[in-house]
Structure formats: structure tokens, C-alpha cells
Amino acid sequence: MASRLRLALIAHDEKKDDLVAFARGHVGFLEICDIVATGTTGARVLDACPGLRLKCLKSGPLGGDQQIGALIAEGKVDALIFFVDPLTPMPHDVDVKALMRLAIVYDIPMALNRATAEIILRDHENGASRASAREDDVHG
């Protein structure tokens, strides 16, 4: 059986509605993921999709981005979906940059907008169905 995708979800304030819509649209897939999220993002997603296995960390400006960066460094995150607002200055911009840097260092898929997030989920869904087709082959 395919392993659960360990997913990190983050959205800046102007992008939270988009991420919630994305989560609603993929709730069936997200239900088979282990999810971590920054505080406010996680609360919004859980509000919209209450059944998810989602752990809320600290809010981004209070260290949540750094917590997710640490999880990436420990090999505990398979993919990062981070809906970034490119039009608003952030007080914790250095944390955001550090998080993205670690996602690059550890070479995990990192989606910074919805179009790329769709590709990551589609790829994993296809991988999961390939794995289950292989199991069917093996087990008849």
C-alpha cells in the first residue's frame, strides 16, 4: 500500500481563501495525508475540512515557518505547499526565505502557487494508483 504523504501547508493571509478552496477540492486526497501547517492556515483548513489528520504549529510570524523548516531538515516532510503572497511585505520575510532554502537544500517538492500544488498532488495520486496496480498484479 502507498505510504501516507507527509505534507506541509502554509498560506499568507491574502492567499488563505485560495488554500482553503484548494483543500476543499482535494479533501479526499488530503484525508490520506499526514499534514502539518502553520497556526492560522491550519485552523482555517481544519475549519473547512474537519476530518483531516492535521497538526497546527505556531503561526508563521511567531516561528511556524521555522518549525516546518526544522521538520524538513529532519526528513519529516515529503512536500511543501505554500501559497505565497508576492505583493505584501512580511515582517518575517527572513523566516520565509529560510524555509524555502531548506526545501531546496533537502530537495523536496515545493509548490508556491496553486498551479504547482495541483501538479504535486496529481503526481502523487498517479504514483499511488501505479503502486496499487502493481499490488494487484502481485496479489492477483
Ligand X SMILES: O=C(CO)COP(=O)(O)O
Could you list the residues that contact ligand X (CB under 6 A)? 10, 12, 38-41, 59-61, 64-65, 92, 96
The binding site for substrate comprises: 12, 16, 38-41, 59-60, 92
- Rounded Cα distance between 10 and 65, Å, is 8
Per annotation, catalytic residue among 13, 18, 34, 65? 65
Q: Look at residues 132, 137, 140, 134 and name the one whose alpha carbon lies nearest to residue 32.
A: 132
Residue 65 a catalytic site member: yes
Residue number with CB closer to ligand X (4 or 92):
92
Strand order through the sheet with 33-37: 53-56, 33-37, 5-11, 79-83, 110-111
- Report in angstroms how near the CB of residue 1 gets to ligand X at its nearest: 31
Residue number with CB closer to ligand X (62 or 128):
62
Residue number with CB closer to ligand X (28 or 91):
91
Q: What is the set of active-site residues?
A: 65
